[in-house]
Structure 1
Amino acid sequence: MLAYICSRLLSLALSLAVASVVIFAAIEVVPGDPAAFMLGLNAQPEAIAALRADLGLDGSLVERYGSWIVGMLTGDFGTSYTYRVPVAELVADRLSVSIPLTIYAMLLSTAIALPVGVIAAARRGGPTDLAVMGVTQLGIAIPNFWFAMLLVLVFAIGLRLFSAGGFPGWEAGLWPALKALTLPAVALALPQASILARVMRSSLLETLGQDYIRTARAKGLNERQAVLRHAFRNALIPVMTILGLQFSFLLAGAIIIENVFFLPGLGRLIFQGITQRDLIVVESVVMLLVFAVIIVTFLVDLAYAAVDPRLRRR
């Protein structure tokens, strides 16, 4: 088990190193000068040069990359070109929205998908299974931003149960904050729940066809006991992969939803950084999102080892 963890940690470190180079190179080749963009079209060359020096843009690519990496490792993400405040402060403020939104959506997705997938597998070929497959196919096909706007029309404008957007802040109280995140979380969760339910069904059906399940039935276990006591745990292995990918997708891919609902999260911060040519914000936030994706993948691998004893002997 220790050797397995060490190998995964080495893979994690290498992935982060490669990702940092790719992110820095991709953002640096974007045309345009942030200093010239900030000062406008009529800015004097001397003013642009002075601003570039102030922002640390006059160094070589190697120097700037090294400075950025050292800062990231020490918790100093640099200073935003636009807001003139530390990027760490901007990220901390936005994480207080993005992380709860992601967790909320994940809980909703899992709470819906797992029982639905189990019921569909247990009633394979029946009306319930066909209905589940049809609804999940529709959930996968519908874009989440369109579904988000539909939720706003029905529950915010029509029924007036929720606000159409904005975030009051956690200082306003737990319920107002969660209420503001409910529609965005549902918009993010239902398409992911459709995918997860189909994976749960397929995995459980495959597991139910194994020899040890037939042996358990032959020993007198009914269908419910065979599914819940024997098949369910082994069927969770591919489901955990999807859960890890979904957490990463929900955290990194909520840019459109956060803009639909005017939520001050990481997705909206990246969008603003791109439109304002705030390269240090975009680099740092994207690197943090990549780090989150890799960490989640690492945790999923550890969960694999906990579920499947064969991995511990590697």
Structure 2
Amino acid sequence: MIAFLVRRAATLALTLLAATAVIFVMLEVAPGDPAVTMLGLNASDEAVAALRAELGLNAPPLERYLAWLAGMLRGDFGVSYTYRTPIAELIADRLAVSGPLTLYALALSTLIAIPAGVHAAAHRGRAADAATLGLVQIGVATPNFWVAMLLVLAFSTGLRWFSAGGFPGWGDPLEAMRALTLPAVSLALPQAAILTRVMRSALIETMSEDYIRTARAKGLTERQALRRHALRNAMIPVLTIIGMQFSFLLAGAVIIENVFFLPGLGRLVFQGVVQRDLIVVKSVLTLLVLAVTLVTLAVDAAYAAVDPRLRARRR
């Protein structure tokens, strides 16, 4: 098991290295000059040249890439062109919003999807199954930013239960979680629809296996066979989707954070792109890729914990 995780970690490290090269090249070829953006179109050539020299933009691309990579390995992400602040501090401040928001949305998605998928699979072909599948189709087809606007209209403008945007900080944890509730729900509902469909399909497929028929022949009821045997084995594809959803929620909250004016990583990336603060964009994107690789490694480890057949196969 340890050797398997070491091999997977080495593979993911190479993937992360390749991702940093792709991110750097893509942002290098993007149009626009950060120095011109910061100084304005009316700035003199001398001022632009001086700022480019100050920001280190005149060095060869390979030299800048290696310096950026070496700095990240030391934990030094550089200094933002726009904020004149160490990027590590910016990321830490914004991660204090995006991290809890992602975990909140993932928890809501899982709590909704797994019971719904189990219920639909247990009542396959009946009215409850058809109703669940209908709601799943609506959830899959509905964009999360549209869900966010509906939630704002219903619970902020109408009922006034939640604020329409902003984040008060973690001085009062209850108020902070209250401010994250509508964004988390808007992120969680479409993902819960996808996870419900996967849970239902995996459970239906597992219930047709020979060992489930053997369990029924030994006297277990349908519900007992589902709970004791089928559910755990059906969790393998579900864990894959949960890992992918964590990565998507962390990286894909750009629109939601802008809808609710949340000072998270998504909003930081959006502002960095608009202001041509490329070093911020590169660092945040690399951090998101790192999060994806770590989640992938955690999912691989969870496979063996859930399914003992995988441990035996590896031995």
TM-score of the superposed pair, with normalisation by structure 1 = 0.98
Does 2:247 align with 1:248?
yes
Alignment of 1:95-134 (within 5 A): 95-134=95-134
Structure-2 residue corresponding to 1:42: 42
Structure-1 residue corresponding to 2:273: 274
Structure-2 residue corresponding to 1:287: 286
Cα offset for 1:275?
0.2
Q: Give 5+ residue unaligned stretches, structure 2.
A: none
Cα offset for 1:310?
4.1
Structure-2 residue corresponding to 1:304: 303
Cα offset for 1:239?
0.2
Cα offset for 1:47?
1.2
Structure-1 residue corresponding to 2:137: 137
Runs of 4+ in 1 over 4 A off after TM superposition: none
8 Å CA contact 1:4–1:311 kept in 2: the answer is no
Structure-1 residue corresponding to 2:153: 153
8 Å CA contact 1:144–1:187 kept in 2: the answer is yes
Cα offset for 1:308?
2.8
Q: In the comparison of the two structures, how many residue pairs are matched? A: 313
Cα offset for 1:193?
0.4
Aligned-partner Cα distance in 1 for 2:173–2:3: 43
Aligned-partner Cα distance in 1 for 2:32–2:196: 45
Aligned-partner Cα distance in 1 for 2:151–2:175: 18
Deviations 1:10-47 (A, max 9, x none): 11111011101000000111111101111111212121
Structure-1 residue corresponding to 2:63: 63
Name the amino acid aligned to 1:238.
Answer: P
Cα offset for 1:167?
0.4
Aligned-partner Cα distance in 2 for 1:74–1:307: 36
Q: Give 5+ residue unaligned stretches, structure 1.
A: none
Aligned-partner Cα distance in 2 for 1:157–1:39: 40
Cα offset for 1:248?
0.3
Q: Secondary structure at the match of 1:196?
A: helix
Q: Secondary structure at the match of 1:197?
A: helix
Aligned-partner Cα distance in 1 for 2:132–2:34: 50
TM-score of the superposed pair, with normalisation by structure 2 = 0.98
Structure-2 residue corresponding to 1:82: 82
Deviations 1:40-81 (A, max 9, x none): 112121211111111111111111001100111111000000
8 Å CA contact 1:196–1:242 kept in 2: the answer is yes
Between 1:107-116 and 1:39-48, the stretch displaced more is 39-48
8 Å CA contact 1:109–1:189 kept in 2: the answer is yes
8 Å CA contact 1:109–1:193 kept in 2: the answer is yes
Aligned-partner Cα distance in 2 for 1:149–1:31: 33
Structure-1 residue corresponding to 2:262: 263
Does 2:234 align with 1:210?
no
Structure-1 residue corresponding to 2:176: 177
Deviations 1:87-117 (A, max 9, x none): 1111000000000000000110000100010
8 Å CA contact 2:232–2:307 kept in 1: the answer is no
Aligned-partner Cα distance in 2 for 1:281–1:63: 18
Name the amino acid aligned to 1:153.
Answer: L
Aligned-partner Cα distance in 2 for 1:230–1:311: 16
